[in-house]
């Protein structure tokens, strides 16, 4: 399938996830077969400050294309200007976030707040399309809440996306008010494709394994799936999905040692972006996902979460995942990274 002019190897991609989908997570997802990754949510105003936009975290790496810049804001003109800046930095697509349910984002009338403002979304999409040459995507939810007014706004926004020719509409199957409570409504996501057959629709919500991803795609009739929380600490999910897409047998589960090596590689990449205890603190949020495959998950997770220094976490991972030489001494980190 295609998004704009980009041919994807499979209809399963890594969703934008604020605070998670920085370069290390994107890099690993790509290695395991993910055809397209997204940055975490970036505020449009950062792109317009020369000093801020020079920071490395805002720039795509040469080895991770194609990659999408997701931006959030509340003013159509500012969003469009920011989109042009990010395109100039080398991002392959622009994604406009009208879905984020985080309270501080809503208070600033950004993200999911704009599900109540169809006309503003129309202006933002139109001005952004005029400002860039790359594909433009949108992320929304199935409404601001469950009211009749929100229902009307939701379908108006879908009509806008179709009429304005958005290259892909990603829809999370909960309302803004639900945040992540309750099950995602995949029936509603499927109804969008039924009403707007020419619109490229991707769905999101409660995808934590390959079987569920394939079932949701088949049952809903949509074009693809964006995987958010289910990909955290689980890059092997994309390997399995690629095998299924290509009609190959599912790959065997990663060995304990292979899991440990990926954890250490991810952590090492994080250490290049942050130092000392800051790197450990940042990386902790990935550990519940990574330890899910460990046969002694709870004890292993608690041990790794207790580490305070990079050397402590590295040693704990090596011990828990059997990354020892025959003589019992630790591997040289250069053998892993």
d(CA 254, CA 294): 10
Count of positions (residues) in the chain:
337
SS (HEC) of the chain: CEECCEECCCCEEECCCCCCCCHHHHHHHHHCCCCCEECCCEEHHHHHCHHHHCCHHHCCCCCCCCEEEEEECCCHHHHHHHHHHHHHHCCCEEEEECCCCCHHHHHCCCHHHHHHCHHHHHHHHHHHHHHCCCCEEEEEECCCCCCHHHHHHHHHHHHHHHHCCCCEEEEECCCCCCCCCCCCCHHHHHHHHHHCCCCCEEEECCCCCHHHHHHHHHHHCCCEEEECHHHCCCCHHHHHHHHHHCCCCCCCCCCHHHHHHHHHHHHHHHHHHCCHHHHHHHHHHHHHHHHHHCCCHHHHHHHHHHCCCHHHHHHHHHHHCCCECCCCCECCHHHHC
Q: Which of 34, 100, 134, 270 is catalytic?
A: 100
Token pair recorded at residue 257: 């040692």
Q: For residues 317 and 280, what is the distance between their CA atoms, to the nearest angstrom?
A: 12
Annotated active-site residue 100? The verdict is yes
Dig out the tokens for 326 from the structure.
């025959």
Chain CA centroid to CA 151, Å? 26
For 208, the token pair is 């934590």
The residues annotated with a catalytic role in the active site are 100
């Amino acid at each position: 399938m295609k998004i704009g002019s980009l041919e994807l190897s499979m209809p399963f991609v890594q969703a934008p996830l604020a605070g998670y989908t920085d370069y290390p997570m994107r890099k690993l997802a790509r290695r395991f077969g993910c055809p397209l990754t997204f940055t975490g949510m970036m505020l449009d105003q950062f792109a317009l400050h020369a000093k801020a936009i020079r920071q490395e975290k805002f720039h795509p790496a040469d080895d991770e294309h194609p990659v999408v810049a997701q931006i959030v804001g509340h003013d159509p003109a500012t969003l469009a200007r920011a989109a042009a800046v990010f395109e100039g930095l080398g991002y392959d697509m622009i994604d406009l976030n009208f879905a984020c349910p985080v309270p501080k984002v809503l208070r600033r009338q950004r993200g999911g707040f704009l599900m109540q403002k169809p006309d503003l979304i129309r202006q933002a999409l139109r001005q952004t399309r005029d400002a860039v040459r790359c594909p433009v995507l949108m992320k929304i939810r199935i409404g601001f809440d469950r009211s009749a007014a929100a229902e009307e706004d939701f379908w108006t926004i879908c009509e806008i996306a179709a009429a304005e020719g958005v290259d892909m509409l990603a829809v999370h199957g909960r309302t803004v008010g639900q945040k992540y409570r309750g099950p995602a409504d995949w029936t509603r996501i499927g109804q969008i494709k039924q009403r707007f057959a020419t619109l490229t629709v991707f769905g999101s919500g409660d995808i934590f394994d390959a079987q569920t991803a394939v079932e949701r795609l088949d049952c809903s009739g949509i074009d693809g799936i964006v995987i958010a929380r289910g990909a955290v600490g689980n890059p092997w999910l994309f390997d399995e999905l690629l095998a299924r897409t290509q009609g190959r047998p599912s790959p065997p589960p990663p060995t304990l040692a292979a899991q440990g090596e990926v954890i250490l590689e991810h952590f090492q990449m994080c250490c290049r972006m942050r130092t000392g205890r800051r790197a450990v603190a940042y990386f902790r949020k990935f550990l519940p996902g990574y330890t899910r495959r460990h046969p002694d998950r709870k004890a292993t997770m608690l041990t790794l979460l207790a580490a305070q220094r990079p050397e402590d976490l590295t040693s704990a991972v090596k011990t828990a995942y059997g990354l020892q030489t025959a003589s019992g001494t630790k591997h040289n980190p250069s053998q892993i990274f």
